[in-house]
Amino acid sequence: MASTSDPYPDPCPFCSNASAYPPSPTSPFPTSPDRTKVSPNCWLLLSTPHVLAFLDILPISPGHILLCPRKHYAKLSDLHIPHTPSTWLEQQDLLDRRKTSEELGCWLPILSRAVCSATGVEDWNVVQNNGVRAAQVVGHVHFHVVPRYQEGREGKGEVALRSWRMFGRGSREDLDEEAGDEVAGRVREALRVEVGEVGRAKL
């Protein structure tokens, strides 16, 4: 559990996801990952050597995705190294941070297109929170990709649409297992289509 001095969960749930779902040498998109390998469940969408994406278990709206580095960095600013590396280990760390930053930037637009295709929305948020006062709930840097549904308009599939909500703690509900399975499957398929369109060599 988190202490009063450290409000974030311990152990880090995103690090648990990273450990439980190593990258595949054949595809960044898992075919049918076991969501029960970790607790709470993880609806994995993307797994590369440097980043992961999965459904938010307290979604603001159906299709709410989290994208995070595989390695633990608390805040976005931690991905930057302000000095020239002097040792081999520091050089490897710098290369890892640079590659992670590149992959985050590469995958955000692809995930955005995929979530729009999978849910049928035309509007979405990409949000990144740093620190407790900025509504960061897990102390592992991550980006939210949140579909925004038009009032009175149905999305794809059987997911129940919810009204617009702000970030942070509040009245968000746990992700329903069946709804999670459904939307995760559609997002994975949309990701495969997107990568096929943009070309695997660019990734």
Beta bridge pairs of residue 124: 147
Residue-wise burial string across 79-111, b where 16 or more C-beta atoms lie within 10 A, e elsewhere: beeeeeeeeeeeeeeeebbeebbebbebbbebb
Which one from 50, 140, 142, 144 is the annotated catalytic residue? 142
Residue-wise burial string across 143-160, b where 16 or more C-beta atoms lie within 10 A, e elsewhere: bbbbbebeeeeebbeebe
Nearest to 56 by CA among 113, 152, 138, 133: 138
Tell me, yes or no, if 142 is annotated catalytic: yes
Residues tagged active-site: 142
